[in-house]
């Protein structure tokens, strides 16, 4: 009886060992299959990556070629313009053209001055000591003063003038100084008004602080 039990036990152990071995084999096979599948997937991904790299390299090459072509076209066009401007006229023709343009400008300027007429110019000498002695004292004491030149001074010599404007101002300062000595001063126009009508008789007929 014991022998039969031992035989059965040995058979069971054998079956258990075979089952375990089969399980291990199946596990190894599944692992191998998974690795093969992973390797295949990685291989496909590498192939796709290589294809994408080649495609991008081709695009870069095309873009570089287009850029070089466009730059060459721009260079050629610029050179054509330079050649055209350089060879459009000879030196003699260019000189004649510039001379003709200069004469045309001179004729236009002469026509303008002829048609617009001429402005009358008058000179007026004004003594600060006679018109504003207090301002002269301020100038002597402080080195600066303010004074006004009234229109009535001009009306005394040229009555009825209107729309007058100052063209130039010259200052004369009688004094005794040594040789090679400069007397410097600054004259500023702080306000002005002018008569717009020859019949103006009131201050309301004067335009105050008009723009230049």
Identify whether 106 is part of a domain.
Answer: no
- Alpha helices in the chain, H assignment, sequence order: 2-87, 91-116, 128-131, 133-142, 151-155
What is the rounded distance in angstroms from the CA atom of residue 69 to the CA atom of residue 67?
5
User: Position of tokens 């723009």?
Assistant: 211
Q: What is the pLDDT of residues 80-112, one digit of tens each?
A: 776 776 666 666 776 777 788 888 888 888 887
Please indicate, yes or no, if residue 207 is contained in any of the structural domains. Answer: no
- Torsion region of 180: left, alpha or beta (phi above 0 gives left; psi -120 to 50 gives alpha): left
Domain that holds residue 14: 1-88
Average pLDDT over residues 114-122: 73
The percentage of the chain sitting over the pLDDT mark of 70, rounded to a whole number, equals 71
pLDDT at 163: 80
- Domain end residue (candidates: 88, 109, 140): 88
Q: Say whether both 82 and 137 belong to one domain.
A: no
Q: How far apart are CA 133 and CA 149, in angstroms?
A: 13
What number is the average pLDDT over the span 145-174? 83
Q: Is residue 129 part of a domain?
A: yes
User: Is the pTM here over 0.75, yes or no?
Assistant: no
Residue bearing the bigger pLDDT, 94 or 121: 121
Residue 108 lies in a domain: no
Residue 107 lies in a domain: no
Note whether residue 111 is domain-resident. Answer: no
Q: Residue 212 domain-assigned? A: no
Is 206:191 a contact under the CB 8 Å cutoff? no
């Amino acid at each position: 009886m014991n022998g039969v039990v031992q035989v059965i036990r040995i058979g069971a152990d054998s079956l258990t060992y075979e089952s375990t071995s089969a399980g291990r084999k199946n596990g190894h096979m599944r692992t191998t299959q998974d690795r093969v599948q992973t390797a295949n997937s990685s291989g496909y991904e590498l192939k796709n990556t290589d294809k994408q790299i080649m495609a991008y390299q081709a695009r870069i090459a095309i873009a570089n070629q287009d850029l070089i072509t466009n730059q060459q076209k721009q260079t050629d066009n610029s050179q054509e313009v330079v050649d055209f401007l350089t060879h459009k006229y000879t030196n003699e023709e260019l000189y004649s053209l510039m001379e003709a343009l200069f004469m045309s400008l001179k004729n236009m300027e002469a026509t303008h001055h002829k048609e617009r007429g001429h402005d009358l110019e008058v000179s007026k000498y004004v003594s600060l000591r006679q018109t504003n002695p207090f301002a002269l004292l301020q100038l002597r004491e402080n080195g600066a003063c303010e004074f006004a030149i009234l229109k009535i001074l001009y009306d005394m010599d040229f009555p009825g003038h209107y729309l007058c404007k100052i063209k130039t101002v010259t200052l004369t300062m009688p004094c005794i100084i040594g040789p090679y000595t400069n007397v410097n001063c600054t004259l500023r126009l702080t306000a002005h008004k002018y008569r717009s009508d020859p019949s103006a008789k009131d201050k309301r007929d004067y335009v105050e602080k008009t723009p230049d």
